[in-house]
Amino acid sequence: MRIETRQSTNRLGLDDDLLDRVFTARGITELAQLEKGLTNLLSPADLPEIDQAALRLADAVEGDEKILIVGDFDADGATSVALCLLALGAMGARHVEFLVPNRFDYGYGLSPEIVQLAAGMQPRVIVTVDNGVASVDGVALANELDIDVIVTDHHLPGEVLPDAYALVNPNVGNSNFASKAMAGVGVAYYLLSWVRQVLRQRDYFASRGIDEPNMAQYLDLVALGTVADVVPLDQNNRILVHQGLLRIQRGMTRPGIAALARVGKRDLTTLSASDMGFALGPRLNAAGRLQDMSVGIRCLVTDDPTEAAQLAAELDSLNQIRRDIEQGMVADAEMILTQITPDPNEMGIAVYHESFHQGVVGIVAGRLREKFHRPAIVFADASEGSDELKGSARSIDGLNIRDLLDSIATKRPGLLLKFGGHAMAAGLSIKRVHLPRFQKAFDKAVRAMVTPDMMDAVLLTDGALEKEDLNLDTVAKLTNAGPWGNGFAEPLFAGEFTLVNQRVVGNDHLKLVLGAEDQLVDAIAFRQAPLEEQPERVNVVYKPALNDYGGQQTLQLIVEYIETMS
């Protein structure tokens, strides 16, 4: 592990030197980039084909046509589906249903099989959310069946685009939309806002006596889906997340989100983006990973707090099962890795075991990536008795994993059955018989695309925090400066401390008491073994946080890295 300090060459001129340093180190060059009001959101007008999509959806609402929402089986997909159901319903649409493919039976996206299933529900319009840009065959079949398809997606496109009625995706073509990083739920939110505008211009709401919906009421869903999908928090996404969090903290949120916070032991009034990512998102994702996402969607759309609590408890139980499966798979994957790749310098990790669960391969790939700092792919059987494997890939900074898979597919036609995704995460399918060949091809492709410095794990910090800043005022200041997340990293600080005490809590967490001159500070390092021989001094990378255990608010350092000082 190499620890480096973020560098910045300019200053914003803020009165607060700490915030000035933190912001400029994240590429902020002018104060306007820190604005988080809704008036600073990008206009939907620059999104590709949003006019065609909005006009067609407005026609469907006015014409009382059946609209079918086809979603993905993760938190981004679930929040997108819930958003569409609620917003279109509020606009007066009476026939809106949803369909989320069961990943174990149908796989991902608007496949021909899903279109056949959808056709039985007799929709006039299909709206895909968080998927569809790769669904060339599925859209073609829908066209044959005289069903209009509106694709809303944010994934990177392939060489061939689906022949949809409209394709709304900031990453398609020569899009002028300045935020390429929106999650699927963000794209859906923008489209629905445009649909509302079209209906308003047609005098639809007034003529039918329908209260025009305030789209801000759905920002809690947008914030949750955006954070859970770990998309980069550029300014537009920070605005969406910030505004959604404000509504949640003020109690203006869906009963399902409130219930998920309760089972995750999070306080709504202080809920953060980190809480969404580590407590709410995983519980919502658990439904899609182990069963189907309908449980999560029902939790998000219900207006009944009692039903929301029951569904959140079910999601919490599924999440615990998911965690147990994940722990076993990580152990198995690490063992398989030592058998397959005795060379510790192996560049690309690709593992499979017949016991692996398809629903958690992405999580395990992420854990392997973190432990070994290598791009990792974990495969599981596509279905019982199938000769096909489905894999989930996670990458390291600087390596576009989707482009890497594309290069393999180009050089070795037929090796990959299908693939798609983002720069940092992707999914793929191969024949089981091709696994050894793929493992060699993956490692070779990684070696060709990485540089030695990319393979070194680097922990970026914001330098030292002065002793007088080790307090709850700093915690509040940094919290209010967020939201923090992917692409706008939460501030980390590095410092030397005296190690006063250490003890293991839970199963594998290290509780610490650290000394900074005459001040004692509590700290905790998750999944950290005790330091040997009780060193006197330690070097610690940490983030200051609020600990309100027992109702008393105290400072606690969340330790990301700790090492003994020589």
Q: Each residue of 3-51: pLDDT tens digit? A: 999 988 788 999 999 999 999 999 999 999 999 999 999 999 999 999 9
Token representation of residue 208: 């039918």
- Give the CATH number of domain 2-27+459-564; options: 2.40.50.460, 3.90.1150.10, 2.40.30.10, 2.130.10.10: 2.40.50.460
Distance CA 513, CA 494 (A): 16
DSSP codes, 173-240: TT---S-S---HHHHHHHHHHHHHHHHHHTTHHHHHT-PPP-GGGGHHHHHHHHHHTT----HHHHHH
The answer on pLDDT for 187 being more than 60 is yes
Give the pTM: 0.89
Q: Report domain 43-316's class.
A: alpha beta
- Per-residue pLDDT, 284: 94
Average confidence (pLDDT) over 162-177 = 94
Which residues are CB-contacts of 458 (< 8 A; sequence separation ≥ 6)?
A: 1, 2, 3, 4
Lowest mean pLDDT among 104-118, 198-212, 418-432, 529-543: 104-118
Residue-wise pLDDT tens digits, 300-346: 999 999 999 999 999 999 999 988 888 888 888 778 766 655 455 67
CA–CA gap between residue 475 and residue 484 (Å, rounded): 13
Q: Which pLDDT value is given to residue 12? A: 92
**Model confidence at 109, in pLDDT bands (50, 70, 90)?**
confident
Q: What is the pLDDT of residue 331?
A: 85
* pLDDT score for 430: 97
End-to-end CA distance of the chain, in Å?
16
Pick the CATH number of 341-452 from 3.90.245.10, 3.40.50.460, 3.10.310.30, 3.30.499.10: 3.10.310.30
Report domain extents, the chain.
2-27+459-564, 43-316, 341-452
